[in-house]
Homo-oligomer: A and B are copies of this chain.
Amino acid sequence: MNDERAIQEVLARYVRAVDARNADDVAELYANDGAEILSYNRAGTPERIAAFTGSRAIRDAVANILPPHPALGWAHHATFDPIVAIDTDIASLQAQFVVFEVRGAQRPAAGWPKGASGGQGTITPIESGYYKISLRRTPDGWKITENHTILDLPPALPET
């Protein structure tokens, strides 16, 4: 696998780990000194919301901040249109993303309504934005040194 694909697959594994709420798998993708930065995209200019430094802090943030899926719930962090730049042992990856929230319906005791067909429930885009990721080549493969996640929607934070 060439470096460009390897770097894209870091993000592919990141979104799967986040959607599975697997904090260890997320943290594993970062360098030990890696950072996660959250910003709000205020009319095109990123405005810092929060930052977590070190793969241990990132693991704890995923474990403690990301809400667990409800029964019949799931999510997809979907990424699009990657731009990759590699300079020997460091690299950058930019991507757009949309988060889809999946909420399955509970099958009624009497069965689905007459005429129901296909997936029962709702799929709603709830977040979108850009990832701006920096990576470093290590003996264990490409690791994230900084993941700057820029959110389009103004966030309601616990402390506000």
Contacts and interface: CB of A to CB of B under 8 A. Distances in A.
A126 interface: yes
Interface stretch (A28-36, A51-59, A109-117, A138-146): A109-117
Given A79-B81, A96-B78, A128-B76, A104 B20 contact: no
Number of copies of chain A assembled together:
3
Interface residues of A, number: 56
A55 to B, nearest CB: 21
A137 interface: no
A61 interface: no
Interface of A: 1, 4-5, 9, 11-13, 15-16, 20, 41, 43-44, 67, 69, 71-72, 74, 76, 78-84, 96, 98, 100, 102, 104-105, 107, 111-113, 116-121, 123-128, 151-156, 158, 160
Closest 5 CB pairs between A and B?
A119-B153, A116-B156, A112-B156, A123-B125, A12-B81
